[in-house]
């Protein structure tokens, strides 16, 4: 675990290294970006380097601090956790406020890595603010967030924010194909499918279900295209029970519609996320047209949100399929 082994995010890693080199480390950082983008990896490289006894811009991997860090056993790097859906006042009080006054055991910094920091409720943020406002010289907070809009302005104003962006598709594909021994084209498909999100791409590449579900979804998308009412209800009966799988099927169909739209607009197969599904894609493109596809994508997004909020799958699917079939 060091900066050198991080895939992409070069500007951020160079910036963090220069802060360490110039002794300009702030008390609090927010690493913001979607799940799987690499926030924790970056936080670990930063924390390990900060506390390395050699004091360089990369961890030495041989001092006690580096070694205990690698064993998840460095007493001066604290991973703030939470048992409930959100981070509560109690979590902040027990793991940060009570802890911060104690000097580091043996390292220069005492580092708090707060995963899911966007889930800190307002009361918890206010409690955290007290530690953030007057931190001891040795304290560093690294907040990992999927939604920086959830922070109070008073918290935001005391943190340095880094936004982690998706990586180029070939960078992600090259990395996955190299490290997981996966065929490059397959890795590229996963990379595109995840929109350059390295964690998600890796998950897809290693999933046994992904390829099978893509096939099944392509079949369903084709059936919908030519279905009458009876057939539509048959499709609904076949997919409504397993909500997790249903979510994935809808996401897959969304991706096919997106590809069909790109195919209509550019005619370029190289721009498709799933070039291996050119047949359903060209057929869907021919039958529906661009504006219908845009409407369909919006309808799927809307259905996905309602399904995640525990909406009735049968009713939502009926409404969705009627919209899809609407001329
Ligand atoms: Zn070291």
Distance 55 CA to ligand 1 centre (A): 7
Three-state DSSP state, 166: coil
Distance 83 CA to ligand 1 centre (A): 32
Distance 61 CA to ligand 1 centre (A): 5
Distance 178 CA to ligand 1 centre (A): 28
* Domain range list for the chain: 3-163, 208-325
Report the 3 state secondary structure along 132-149: HHCCCCCEEEEEEECCHH
Distance 286 CA to ligand 1 centre (A): 60
Q: What is the pTM of this model?
A: 0.82
Contacts of 104-109 spanning 24+ positions with Cβ under 8 A: 104/75, 104/76, 104/138, 105/75, 105/76, 106/64, 106/65, 106/75, 106/76, 107/51, 107/53, 107/65, 107/74, 107/76, 108/50, 108/51, 108/138, 109/25, 109/50, 109/51, 109/76, 109/138, 109/139, 109/140
pLDDT tens for the chain, 327 residues: list them. Answer: 899 889 999 999 999 999 999 999 999 999 999 999 999 999 999 999 999 999 999 999 999 999 999 999 999 999 999 999 999 999 999 999 999 999 999 899 999 999 999 999 999 999 999 999 999 999 999 999 999 999 999 999 999 999 999 999 999 999 999 999 999 999 999 999 999 999 999 999 999 899 999 999 999 999 999 899 999 999 999 999 999 999 999 999 999 999 999 999 999 988 999 999 999 999 999 999 999 999 999 999 999 999 999 999 999 999 999 999 987
Distance 4 CA to ligand 1 centre (A): 15
The rounded radius of gyration (Å) of the Cα atoms in the chain is 24
Distance 77 CA to ligand 1 centre (A): 14
Distance 49 CA to ligand 1 centre (A): 7
In CATH terms, 208-325 corresponds, of 1.20.1460, 1.20.950, 1.10.1200, 1.20.272, to 1.20.272
Distance 162 CA to ligand 1 centre (A): 25
Distance 50 CA to ligand 1 centre (A): 9
Three-state DSSP state, 122: helix
Distance 54 CA to ligand 1 centre (A): 6
Dihedral sign (CA 76, 79, 82, 83): negative
For domain 3-163, is the CATH number 3.40.50.2000? no
Are the CB atoms for 156 and 148 separated by under 8 Å?
yes
């Amino acid at each position: 675990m060091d900066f050198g082994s991080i895939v992409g995010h070069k500007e951020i890693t160079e910036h963090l290294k220069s802060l360490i080199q110039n002794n300009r480390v702030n008390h609090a950082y927010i690493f913001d970006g979607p799940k799987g983008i690499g926030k924790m990896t970056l936080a670990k490289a930063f924390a390990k380097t900060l506390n390395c006894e050699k004091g360089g811009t990369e961890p030495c991997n041989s001092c006690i601090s580096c070694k205990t860090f690698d064993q998840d056993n460095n007493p001066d790097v604290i991973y703030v956790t939470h048992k409930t859906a959100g981070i509560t006042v109690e979590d902040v009080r027990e793991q940060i406020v009570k802890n911060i006054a104690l000097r580091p055991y043996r390292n220069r910094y005492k580092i708090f890595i707060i995963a899911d920091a966007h889930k800190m409720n307002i009361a918890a943020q206010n409690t955290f603010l007290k530690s953030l406002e007057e931190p001891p010289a040795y304290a560093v907070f690294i907040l990992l967030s999927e939604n920086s809009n959830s922070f109070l302005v008073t918290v935001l104003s005391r943190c340095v924010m880094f936004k982690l962006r998706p990586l180029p598709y070939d960078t992600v594909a090259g990395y996955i194909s190299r490290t997981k021994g996966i065929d490059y084209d397959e890795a590229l498909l996963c990379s595109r499918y995840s929109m350059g999100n390295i964690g998600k791409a890796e998950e897809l590449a290693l999933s046994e279900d992904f390829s099978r579900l893509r096939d099944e979804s392509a079949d369903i998308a084709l059936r919908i295209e030519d279905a009458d009412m009876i057939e539509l209800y048959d499709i609904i009966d076949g997919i409504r029970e397993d909500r997790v799988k249903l979510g994935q099927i809808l996401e897959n169909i969304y991706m096919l519609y997106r590809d069909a739209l790109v195919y209509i607009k550019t005619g370029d197969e190289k721009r498709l996320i799933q070039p291996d599904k050119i047949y359903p894609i060209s057929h869907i493109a021919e039958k529906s047209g661009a504006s219908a596809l845009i409407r369909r994508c919006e309808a799927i997004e809307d259905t996905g949100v309602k399904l995640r909020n525990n909406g009735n799958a049968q009713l939502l699917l009926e409404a969705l399929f009627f919209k899809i079939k609407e001329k």
